[in-house]
Amino acid sequence: MAIITSPPAIIFINNDLSSQVLSVFIRQLFITEVLTAAQFDGYVAADGYWVSDQLYDGYRILVLRDLCDQTNRDLADIVLFAKDGLVSVEQNKVGPPNITLQINQVYLTALIYLQRVRPFPCRRPKNWENQFVGEHVTDDFNPYHLDPPYIRNVEPRDN
């Protein structure tokens, strides 16, 4: 059920994780797709709107990459570094930065400020004559009330 109310995100994490640790992140963060750095950079190079399309569709994408590489770092909502059972938040556009958590405490609610989302300002008519027929003025817009996205096969493969 939590996948319905969890917001979409692009999450970068270091690529030297074991498959067991990676599966913990997939389960706890409700990841819909795991990509390598080369796959992610290829998608971004092929289509400049790919990231915004994925976020609009509600996907949470985990990108495995070397964190010394700054390529497309500005597209990440959250950058995590995991080692020895601890997870450090290196960069966070949507929540508290520079925190360190135990791996079993890493959930989206700890990483993201869950505030009301307003993608565009609400327009209020000055008088009732200016309101269009069928227009409903409301403050409770929530884009995450829709059905969850189709979950793709995201189990890690041992190489």
Q: What would the pLDDT profile of 68-105 be if each residue is shown by its tens digit?
A: 989 999 999 999 999 998 999 999 988 888 888 899 88
By C-alpha distance, which of 96, 71, 67, 61 is closest to 79?
67
User: What is the enclosing helix (H) or strand (E) of 19?
Assistant: helix 19-28
Residue scoring higher pLDDT (131 or 62): 62
Helix (H, G, I), strand (E, B) or coil at 128: helix
Amino acid identity for residue 126 in this structure: K
Helix (H, G, I), strand (E, B) or coil at 91: strand
Alpha carbon distance 98, 71 (integer Å): 21
Cβ(116)–Cβ(51) below 8 Å: no
Alpha carbon distance 72, 40 (integer Å): 9
Residue scoring higher pLDDT (65 or 118): 65
Contacts of 115 (CB under 8 A, 6+ apart): none
